[in-house]
Structure formats: C-alpha cells, structure tokens
Amino acid sequence: MPAETIMEALLSAHVSHLLRSARAARRDPIAGVEGPRRRAGEYVTVTIRPLLEADVDACAAIMLATPLLARYGVTTAAAARGALADVFAGPCRGLVAEEAGRIIGFAVYSVRGTFAHSGYVRTIAVAPDAQHRGAGRRLMDAVEAAIFDQ
C-alpha cells in the first residue's frame, strides 16, 4: 500500500475519532459532563462545570502548583488570579473539573481563536495529586464540545 494511502487512512481514522469524541461530549454539554474513571480499582466521578468567581482561589492554587506555568510568570496568587480575570471580563470562558466537591482542574478558553476559525485553549491545568486520571481529558472534551456548539 502506498505511503500516501496509509497516511490518508490514518488521518481519516483520527478525524473520525475526534468527531465521535466531540459528539459524545456534546450530548451532555459542559454543565454535568461526568463519567467514571478508574483509580486503583475504584471508580470516582469527575464533574465538569462552568468556572465561577468563587472558584478562582482554588484554580489559582492549581496554577501555582504547576511548574510549567511558573515559566510564564505565574508565580504569585495575584498573578494566577489575574490570569483568570478574562473569564469574568468577557473574552474567555472557563470550566472546572470537580471531584467530591474539590476543584482538581480547570480550563480557560476562547470560542474564537486568533483567526476566528477555531477555538483556543489559553490555560489548562490539573492539580498534581489528581493528574493521570482523566480529569484533563474530560476538560478538553468539554472545551471541544463548547467550541463546536458555537
């Protein structure tokens, strides 16, 4: 099989997967996107909901615990809260991942990116003790669903 045909097949499969994921997330958009995830043999529920002003301090704490964001100057609580201000000023939207009442991750995104043809994820972070369990994936699924619904 020629390399071009193989690449086309792989690309087609990847696009189909992305569309299926977006459709599945769209069935239960943003508020209440939840599902079981496996952690050491037990199932827990992560709920994705809109980021509220009351969530800013918890999200700021997650930002401060994320080494990558320190490289971008987010080294104080004030800087972290400032980075979240656009959610309430209008140009961006935000989501949080919540587990048993605790915020374990968040995403800040714009429905229209630089060229107004696609969305743009400004920041996504998951608390260090909650990583590698699917919260980030659920946040991205909900962001994609919100962007595709526009």
Per-residue model confidence (pLDDT) at position 60:
92
**pLDDT of res. 135:** 93
- Position 19 scores a pLDDT of 44
Whether this prediction's pTM lies above 0.75 is answered by: no
Q: What pLDDT shows up at residue 30? A: 45
Regions in the chain scoring below 50 on pLDDT: 2-7, 9-19, 22, 25-43
pLDDT value at residue 106: 96
Domain count, the chain: 1
- H or E element that contains 73: none
pLDDT at 21: 54
Q: What pLDDT is recorded for position 24?
A: 53
Helices (H), the chain: 3-26, 56-64, 67-70, 77-89, 135-148
CATH for 129: 3.40.630.30
Q: Which two tokens stand for residue 33?
A: 């996107």
Place of tokens 């608390």: 127
Question: Which has the closest alpha carbon to 83: 98, 95, 73?
Answer: 73
The residue range of the domain holding 139 is 3-148
- Dihedral sign computed on CA atoms, order 37, 43, 48, 52: negative
